[in-house]
Amino acid sequence: MAVAKLFDERPIWHRHSLTQRLHDEGLEFGGHLLKRLLFRTAYYFSTGPFRLFWIRKGYDPRKDPESRKYQKIDFRVPPALRNFGDANAADVELKVRWKDICAFKVFPLKNQTCFQLCDLADDYIQEVIRKPSDLPICLCSTGWFPSYVLDSLRLLVQVRFLSIYPKVGAKDLLKSASERFEKSKKMQLHKTDFMPDEEENQHINGESNSHTCGESPVKFNDTERVCNDDKNEQDNEDYFDDDEIEDEEEDEELDELDLPPVAGEDGDFTQQPFSYARNYLQELFGSFPSATAGRPDVDTSYEEYQIYEQDSSDDDKLF
């Protein structure tokens, strides 16, 4: 099966990357049929650094440091530039190739766009993700990277996209982002002695100044953002306004996964997401380890970590 073969090539896929690859091979699937095929082969997490990406069944990215290259990173259009994609956005989007956006050839039409690091055509980013992980554990907030590394990569993504903004108004923003990126690279040289329990423990235990994952996991059809490392946005309030940011990319993913079947479109496909019981989930996949593991007098309790799969049915035999 074409979809299953893609997961032999790569264990984690962004939906847009997967759809683009199928299209390049001359394969087109309706939305509900594609979801049906994906649920036979893959699952997704509702939180964490791989949130909403399709992951091959049997593969746990939290146990494999090599999965760091498949982590998510987002680009958020500054408020002053957010009217760029309003006019004829639907028509333009049909003509834009996902790989061209990932190659920084086309400015994103949406206010927020989520990418996988491995898909971004930038030499510096690829060099960073090829380096061995600095962390011995995979964290819910930042995965296999320290937060300052992801902050720096996010700044670089901003620089790359702002440099191709097709209208006027991005010059000052580009200059600011470029200066902050260069500063972040210099700061990394002084953080070689990074200790997870000094910073990442805040994310694990829900004490982060940004969005935390210490609370009970949010249901998948909830629109609340979870476990995003947004320190850079708080440090640069003049650049981003969190109250105005719309998580369009994540909302679109939620819509794609949680909508009821449409009559007459790829047959009757009804999604039935559920979360595994805590004990079963820990036995099967484990959980994100606490950064304070092994230290005395530390509460090492974990919250439930949600995964979603599709129940099998007799109809699946057709595929």
Q: How many domains does the chain have?
A: 1
Domain range for residue 252?
A: 2-318
pTM, full prediction:
0.66
pLDDT at site 95: 74
Of 201, 289, 252, 293, the closest CA to residue 90 belongs to 252
**Do 72 and 253 form a contact (C-beta atoms < 8 A)?**
no
pLDDT at site 187: 86
pLDDT at site 15: 93
pLDDT at site 2: 87
What is the full per-residue pLDDT of the chain (319 aa) written as tens digits? 789 999 999 999 999 999 999 999 888 888 889 999 999 999 999 999 999 999 999 999 999 999 999 999 999 999 989 876 555 555 556 678 999 999 999 999 889 999 999 999 999 999 999 999 989 999 999 999 999 999 999 999 999 999 999 988 899 999 999 999 999 998 887 775 544 444 444 343 333 333 333 333 333 333 223 333 344 434 443 444 443 444 455 555 555 555 333 333 332 322 334 333 344 344 445 545 544 455 444 443 334 445 656 554 444 443 4
pLDDT at site 256: 57
* Category of 111 on φ-ψ map: left (φ > 0), alpha (ψ -120 to 50) or beta: alpha
Cβ count within 10 A of residue 251: 13
